Amino acid sequence: MRFNFVTIFPEIIKFLEFGVIGKALEKDLISINEYNPRDFSKNSNKNIDDSPYGGGEGMVMMAEPLASTLKSIKNKGKVILMSPQGENITNFHINSLLEESTVTIICGRYEGVDERFIENYVDVEMSVGDFVLSGGEIPALALIDALSRKIPGVLGNQKSFENDSYENNLLKGPVYTRPQNFEGMEVPEILLSGDHEKINDWKILSSLQRTIDRRPDLLDSVKLTKKQKKLLDNLLSKRIL
């Protein structure tokens, strides 16, 4: 997958040079090209912002440098503006964006972006949550990371994301590693039993239990196997009693 990263702080992309995403970049499983709207500013100070019409606080990113930046990108794919006013990103958005071979991600700054640029150039506005950050770069990094880890070959074991939280609308249950006893707390015995079927049942159960406890809203749209459904009914009936 190819990412076009439109930002006035292109150095921020260095945050992705670590861990599995860093390896994906090295292996060319993903590529990221930075575009700085300052390079497309027509004024001598390389300004890309100006004060808002009608007054008010802060500055607004001008439409022109952003439009020229986008015009310079040959293969844009889907054009996404990171914005607190956009759709909150869920696993559903990640899965549908994975069908694109290229995405262009625009990072706003200051009070945001001139609305006319959004109308003419942006396909979709996306948010990382109902709060405001000072720039779109961290949301863009989150989006690139979430997409990249689902690209075949990026995670060592392809199955590792298939059991992640939000795959199939369930949260993943708790996980444990050595030592067996930590500050007097034991690892659940079943995980030490070596009985793969029982361990698998335990994992399904703990994932269902965690979803009931923390995100019961997810259960409305979950698609369960027969086994999962039986275990869920069991858990729910115990809860009601």
Residue 139 binds ligand SAH (CB under 6 A) = yes
Q: Which is nearer to ligand SAH, 93 or 109 (CB)?
A: 109
Residue 53 binds ligand SAH (CB under 6 A) = no
Q: Which of 39, 50, 100, 111 is catalytic?
A: 111
Residue 228 binds ligand SAH (CB under 6 A) = no
Q: Which of 193, 49, 207, 37 is nearest to 113 (CA)?
A: 49
Residue 145 binds ligand SAH (CB under 6 A) = no
Q: Which of residues 67-126 bind ligand SAH (CB under 6 A)?
A: 82-85, 107-109, 111-113
Residue 65 binds ligand SAH (CB under 6 A) = no
SS (H, E, C) the chain: CEEEEECCCHHHHHHHCCHHHHHHHHCCCCEEEEECHHHHCCCCCCCCEECCCCCCCCCEECHHHHHHHHHHCCCCCEEEEEEEEEEECCHHHHHHHCCCCEEEEEECECCCECHHHHHHHCCEEEECCCCCCCECHHHHHHHHHHHHCCCCCCCCCCHHHHCCCCHHHCCCCCCCCCCCEECCEECCHHHHCCCHHHHHHHHHHHHHHHHHHHCHHHHHHCCCCHHHHHHHHHHHHHHHC
| Residue 115 C-beta: closest distance to ligand SAH, Å | 11
Residue 52 binds ligand SAH (CB under 6 A) = no
Which residues make beta-bridge pairs with 186?
Answer: 181
Q: Which of 49, 64, 114, 149 is catalytic?
A: 149
- Whether 164 is catalytic is yes
- Whether 111 is catalytic is yes
Q: Which residue is nearest to ligand SAH (CB)?
A: 108
| Residue 209 C-beta: closest distance to ligand SAH, Å | 31
* Amino acid type, 127: S
Q: Which is nearer to ligand SAH, 10 or 84 (CB)?
A: 84
| Residue 117 C-beta: closest distance to ligand SAH, Å | 11
Q: Which of 126, 205, 129, 207 is nearest to 162 (CA)?
A: 207
Q: Which is nearer to ligand SAH, 22 or 56 (CB)?
A: 56
Q: Which is nearer to ligand SAH, 132 or 192 (CB)?
A: 132
Which of 14, 45, 131, 185 lies at the binding interface for ligand SAH (CB under 6 A)?
131
> Which residues would be at the binding site for ligand SAH (CB under 6 A)?
82-85, 107-109, 111-113, 127-129, 131-133, 135-136, 139
The set of catalytic residues is 84, 111, 149, 164
